[in-house]
C-alpha cells in the first residue's frame, strides 16, 4: 500500500470516483423507492383472503429472495429488451435491484403487519373504510413504523448489493465500476479499492444514522 499514490488517486481521479458515488446514490435511492412500492404491494398480496392471490405473493418472494442478483440483472435486461421494451442500463439496474429488494421489504412489512394485529383491521373495517383505505391509511403506515430498524438494515443491504451492478454487463458507471476501471488502468489495487471502500462505508454510515434518526422520531414500539 503506497501512501503517496493513495493520495494521488484523489487528485488524479477523484472526480471519477465522486461521479461513481453519485451514480451509486442515485441507483440506491431509486431502487429503494421502487422496492418499497413493490414490498407494500406484495405484502398486501401475501395477506389476502384468497389463497390464489396469496400464492402469487409467496411465489414472488420465493423467487426473488433466492435468485442471485447477477442472474436477475441479466434476465431482466436481456429478457425485457428481447420482448421489445427498450429499457436502458440504469433503468434495468433500478428494476433489478428494486425487484430483488422488494421481496425482502415485503417480508419485513409482513412481520410488521402481523405485529399491528387483526384488531386494527377489524376496527378500520368497522369504521367503514374500504379495503384499500384500510391498508393504505391504517395498517401499512403502522407496520412501516414498527419495522424501521429492519428496513434500515435492508437499505444498507441495498447499498452493498448495488456494487454487484457495477460488476455486471450493465453500463452503469457506479462506484464499483469506476474502481474496477481505475484499477485496470493504474494497477494500484489496494489504493483504488480502499477509496471505493471508504465511499461505501460513507454511504452506509449515512444510511445507518438516517435510519437511527427515523427510528427515534417515528418508530412505534409494541
Q: Give the end-to-end CA distance of the chain in Å, rounded to a whole number.
A: 50
Among 5, 41, 53, 157, binds another protein (CB under 8 A): 157
The residue (of 97 and 124) whose beta carbon lies closer to another protein is: 97
Closest to another protein by CB, 55 vs 78, is 78
List the interface residues with another protein, window 92-111 (CB under 8 A).
104, 107-108, 110-111
As a three-state string, the secondary structure of 141-184 is HHHHHHCHHHHHHHHHHHHHHHHHHHCCCCCCCCHHHHHHHHHH
189 is a site residue for another protein (CB under 8 A): yes
Contact between 69 and another protein by CB under 8 A: the answer reads: yes
Cell of 97: 435491484
| x-marked contacts with another protein along 1-40 as a string, rule CB under 8 A | ----------------------------------------
Q: How far is the CB of 129 from another protein (least distance, A)?
A: 26
In the complex, minimum distance from the CB of residue 69 to another protein, in angstroms, rounded to a whole number: 7
> How far is residue 42's CA from residue 39's CA, in Å, rounded to a whole number?
5
Residue 87 neighbours by CB under 8 Å, 6+ apart: 76, 77, 80, 81, 95
Out of 37, 63, 123, 206, name the contact with another protein by CB under 8 A.
63
CA distance 134 to 44: 11
Report how many residues bind another protein under the rule CB under 8 A: 57
Q: Which of 22, 130, 167, 209 binds another protein (CB under 8 A)?
A: 167
Least distance (Å) between residue 133 CB and another protein = 26
Cα 199 to Cα 176: distance, rounded to the nearest angstrom: 10
- Helix or strand or coil: residue 91? helix
Cα gap 101→29, rounded to integer Å: 12
Is residue 95 exposed (0-12), middle (13-18) or buried (19+ Cβ within 10 Å)? buried
Could you say which of 12, 14, 37, 68 contacts another protein (CB under 8 A)?
68
Interface ranges with another protein (CB under 8 A): 62-63, 65-72, 74-75, 77-79, 81-84, 86, 89, 104, 107-108, 110-111, 114, 147, 150, 153-154, 156-157, 159-164, 166-167, 169, 171, 176, 179-180, 183-184, 189-190, 193, 196-197, 200-201, 204-205
Amino acid at each position: 500500500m503506497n501512501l503517496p499514490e493513495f493520495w494521488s488517486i484523489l487528485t488524479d481521479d477523484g472526480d471519477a470516483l465522486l461521479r461513481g458515488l453519485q451514480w451509486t446514490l442515485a441507483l440506491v435511492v431509486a431502487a429503494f423507492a421502487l422496492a418499497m412500492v413493490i414490498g407494500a404491494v406484495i405484502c398486501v398480496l401475501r395477506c389476502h383472503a384468497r389463497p390464489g392471490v396469496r400464492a402469487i405473493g409467496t411465489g414472488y418472494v420465493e423467487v426473488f429472495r433466492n435468485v442471485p442478483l447477477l442472474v436477475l440483472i441479466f434476465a431482466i435486461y436481456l429478457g425485457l429488451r428481447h420482448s421489445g421494451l427498450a429499457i436502458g442500463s440504469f433503468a434495468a439496474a433500478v428494476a433489478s435491484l428494486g425487484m430483488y429488494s422488494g421481496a425482502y421489504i415485503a417480508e419485513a412489512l409482513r412481520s410488521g403487519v402481523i405485529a399491528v394485529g387483526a384488531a386494527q383491521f377489524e376496527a378500520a373495517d368497522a369504521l367503514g373504510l374500504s379495503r384499500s383505505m384500510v391498508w393504505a391509511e391504517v395498517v401499512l403506515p403502522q407496520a412501516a413504523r414498527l419495522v424501521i430498524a429492519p428496513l434500515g438494515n435492508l437499505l444498507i443491504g441495498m447499498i452493498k448489493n448495488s456494487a454487484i451492478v457495477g460488476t455486471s454487463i450493465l453500463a452503469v458507471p457506479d462506484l464499483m465500476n469506476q474502481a474496477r476501471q481505475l484499477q485496470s488502468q493504474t494497477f494500484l489495487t489496494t489504493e483504488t479499492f480502499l477509496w471505493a471502500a471508504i465511499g461505501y462505508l460513507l454511504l452506509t454510515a449515512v444510511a445507518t444514522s438516517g435510519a437511527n434518526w427515523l427510528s427515534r422520531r417515528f418508530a412505534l414500539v409494541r
